Structure 1
Amino acid sequence: MGTDELLLPRSRQANERLHSMIPGGAHTYAKGDDQYPENLAPVISHGRGAHVWDIDGNRYVEYGSGLRSVSLGHAHPRVTEAVRREIDRGSNFVRPSIVEAEAAERFLATVPTAEMVKFAKNGSDATTAAVRLARAVTGRPRVAVCGDHPFFSVDDWFIGTTPMSAGIPARTTELTVAFPYGDLAATEELLTRYRGEVACLILEPAGHTEPPPGYLTGLRDLADRHGCVLVFDEMITGFRWSEAGAQGLYGVTPDLSTFGKALGNGFAVSALAGRRELMERGGLRHSDERVFLLSTTHGAETHSLAAAMAVQTVYTEEGVTARLHALGERLAAGVREAAAGMGVGDHVVVRGRASNLVFATLDENHRPSQQYRTLFLRRLLAGGVLAPSFVVSSALDDADIDHTVDVVAQACAVYRKALDAADPTPWMAGRPVKPVFRRLA
């Protein structure tokens, strides 16, 4: 590709079709065409490995595949073979399949800090189940979420705290309070202010920055002293930080944790895991009041569980986590060098753990800018790079990374021109991309 302008006539028509039938034109807001430059939102035909093709016939090197879920690359042969084999045996029954026991055993061997696990289809169900369980076992109403982390659930207890809170009663949202990441003193102050009211602390154990020394251990101690449940949301950190998640890497065990995304390599599977004493409250072998923990028709779909088992096998046998880090380090170094070489090293900024890279686009005053993000994304797309983030999959190779860095360098040359003009508008060719969470469409 590599031409100055990318034309997507079929994708434009398909986006109109999507909007006419599907609110938002996509089934995930982060996949919406408002997240891409005007008239440059490719509609995908298929993918293989680290590449995807749009319905106009263009091929792209893809990052952030499936919103970080496809960490092994599209149509990974060992995963698809496991799924294909299981589909021929039936996908759902009136009683548990033996696959459910095998998948649970495999998961608990991979994440040895957990004692029990229950599978579901999406991350929101798992995090909401963790919140419900914490409220049940503590008898407390409030949920404390890490305010520095962008997303925990589509359910009211969390979405009510975002700018897209329409339809959610204020009294529901008032029960969710926020604490800052990395600040134990502020968290203790919050727990003291709401003494005896906070059921759980829920956070991603790591994000764009590493946990400060002693932070997760300190949070574990705070939860114990204040009698609340510590929940690690490992949707992103699970497998990308280590096969056992951030809890395995940093050596701090939460009471409950949630996994998803990379667990199925694109197939719909998530997990709630944790201490037996808590998890069993959603079971039958206790004398306390029952908790409706997780109960979904498709929660134990056999081929998705087969995918999860295959993913765990590939990760452990092929050293995938180490490969993700190595690829990310190569990419980050290349992008930083390219940006610096074009004089925009302080404006196109790569952040995060090597296995989970994002980029920031800053304006002439070093403030985050949707306008400059639009310019940057437009140039990446023209060069055959589909990159809402720089989150790598293990299917990338050195040639993909080198191509990406070359395209980034070309994008940064245009970025420099826009900075010199103090106006990116001529290079945007349309409206700016928009943040997902906003009050008005």
Structure 2
Amino acid sequence: MSKNEEYGEKAHLWIPAGAHTYSRTDEVFPGNAPKVIERSKGVYTWDVDGNEYIDYGMACRSVTVGYDYDRISDAAIKQIHNGNTATKASKIEIEAAEAMCNLFPWVDMVKFAKNGSTVTSAATKLARAYTGRKYIARCKEHAFFSYDDWFIGSTVMNAGVPQEIQDLTLQFNFNDIASVKALFEEYKGEIATLIMEPCDTQEPENNFLQEVGKLCKEYGVVYILDEMITGFRWDIQGACKYYGVEPDLVTFGKGMANGFSVAALGGKREIMDLGGLTPGRERVFLISTTHGAEMSSLGALVETINVYKELNVTDHIWDMGRRLVKGLNEIAKEHSLQDYFYLEGAQCSPNLVVCGKDAKPSFEYRTVFLQEMLKAGILMPYIAIAYEHTKNEIDRTLEAAEKAMKIYKDALNADVGRFIEGNIIKPVFRKYN
């Protein structure tokens, strides 16, 4: 038995689904993907059997510079030696908050946590307290906002969420301002907040983000932009800066500390301060977590911001994204597959689309292509480019893609089942296992 098999079995014995994040479970990867990772450095990762891969998953998109980037790791270790936590607010906690507020002009105050779900849920609570309203409007096309009931109740995986909670979350369509307007009219005076990502697989069109902001102001709705993925990737000041929009509240996580566990809720003082200590005001229990201001992670955050400024990290991510997108699209065109295989969305975070014979996205055919990439040592569940992806890694990836494309083309002209060597990739959000 290989170590992958051994640890894979243990994972499912001791951990529900075999991992602590559904997007890390076996079912969302081809059958020949590594079961368990032992270590990572730069943009390379090694499984427990010592197999090496160029990594494009980058730990659920949370590593934007590179695994164990020395300057950032050293900053975290320094704070560990300072005690890593404290009985009162720590010095690095204040410095990190100041750094965030200085970096983002639309952030007057900030609260830290350990994961994105905590801060998006806190944002919706804050909006309800601020407006005195109960409904939440969330973007239908955007895949994930929180593990809490307000969001999960609006998905197909709503088991355990009471119907009355499900009914409080409404949905609108991205780039469809009419759907937002109609929702605001139907529930006029009842919607506390609207939450969406500035960009997911589709970029905003016709000033959609700005137009939503105008409607939110008109109808008294708190405007939340979730920059969990776009933050520290589109620009050091996030997609809000890139697209020129200022929300009332904004949430961050993932890449903000290069893989260290930090998330943040920030925004306008008049809203954020509801969670403060203003005398005589009704108290709002905002975020209060023992490890939310863990010093090592906040040390990593401050140093990540410094690294971004000094090395122009996001410019490099865009450059490598353009190189990869151009190369993959050219390979698809060489095989006359440009209508079946393509990349969409912002090139700093491109979305890979692999279609079946009907030219519609297909998990079966996606499995074939990613399976072949794994054989060449490319781990690409999706594409999250980091600073330490260089021309060398991109070119090696394109060489592997050339071979994988040939197998994918053969599968399009035959029975795809004959090409799949393990399980078929499944989406996280589905009703049944």
Is the 2:142–2:196 contact (alpha carbons within 8 Å) kept by the matching residues of 1? yes
Kindly provide the amino acid, as one letter, of the partner of residue 171 in structure 2. Answer: A
Aligned to 1:182: 175
| Cα distance in 1, alignment partners of residues 294 and 186 from structure 2 | 44
Aligned to 1:89: 82
Q: How does 1:361-380 map to 2 (within 5 A)?
A: 361-380=354-373
Aligned to 2:251: 258
Aligned to 2:270: 277
Kindly provide the amino acid, as one letter, of the partner of residue 388 in structure 2. Answer: A
1:339 has 2:332 as partner: yes
2:223 alignment partner, SS class: strand
Q: How does 1:34-433 map to 2 (within 5 A)?
A: 34-285=27-278, 287-421=280-414, 423-433=415-425
Is the 1:358–1:391 contact (alpha carbons within 8 Å) kept by the matching residues of 2? no
2:250 alignment partner, SS class: strand
Q: What is the Cα deviation at residue 40 of structure 1?
A: 3.2
Q: What is the Cα deviation at residue 343 of structure 1?
A: 2.9
Alignment partner of 1:435 out of 421, 427, 430: 427
Deviates more, 1:252-261 or 1:428-437: 428-437
1:278 alignment partner, SS class: helix
Deviation digits for residues 219-239 of structure 1, max 9, x if unmatched? Answer: 111001111100000101111
Query: How many aligned residue pairs are there?
Result: 433
Deviates more, 1:102-111 or 1:17-26: 102-111
Which TM-score applies when normalising by structure 1? 0.96
Deviation digits for residues 193-237 of structure 1, max 9, x if unmatched? Answer: 011110000000112222113211111110011111000001011
| Cα distance in 1, alignment partners of residues 137 and 337 from structure 2 | 39
Deviation digits for residues 396-420 of structure 1, max 9, x if unmatched? Answer: 1111101100111111100111111
Is the 1:355–1:392 contact (alpha carbons within 8 Å) kept by the matching residues of 2? yes
| Cα distance in 1, alignment partners of residues 145 and 279 from structure 2 | 29
Which TM-score applies when normalising by structure 2? 0.98
Unaligned runs of 5+ in 1: 1-7
| Percentage of pairs with the same residue | 42
2:342 alignment partner, SS class: strand
Kindly provide the amino acid, as one letter, of the partner of residue 339 in structure 1. Answer: A
| Cα distance in 2, alignment partners of residues 12 and 371 from structure 1 | 24
Q: What is the Cα deviation at residue 286 of structure 1?
A: 5.0
| Cα distance in 2, alignment partners of residues 136 and 269 from structure 1 | 25
1:237 alignment partner, SS class: coil
RMSD: 1.2
For residues 382 and 39 of structure 1, do their structure 2 counterparts lie closer, same or farther at Cα, with a shift above 3 Å needed?
A: closer
Deviation digits for residues 333-387 of structure 1, max 9, x if unmatched? Answer: 1111112222322222212211112211100111111111111111010000000
| Cα distance in 2, alignment partners of residues 204 and 324 from structure 1 | 19
Q: What is the Cα deviation at residue 39 of structure 1?
A: 4.8
Is the 2:75–2:303 contact (alpha carbons within 8 Å) kept by the matching residues of 1? yes
Q: What is the Cα deviation at residue 59 of structure 1?
A: 0.7
Is the 2:54–2:377 contact (alpha carbons within 8 Å) kept by the matching residues of 1? yes
Aligned to 1:3: none
Is the 2:4–2:35 contact (alpha carbons within 8 Å) kept by the matching residues of 1? yes
Is the 2:363–2:424 contact (alpha carbons within 8 Å) kept by the matching residues of 1? yes
Q: What is the Cα deviation at residue 119 of structure 1?
A: 0.6
Is the 2:106–2:248 contact (alpha carbons within 8 Å) kept by the matching residues of 1? no
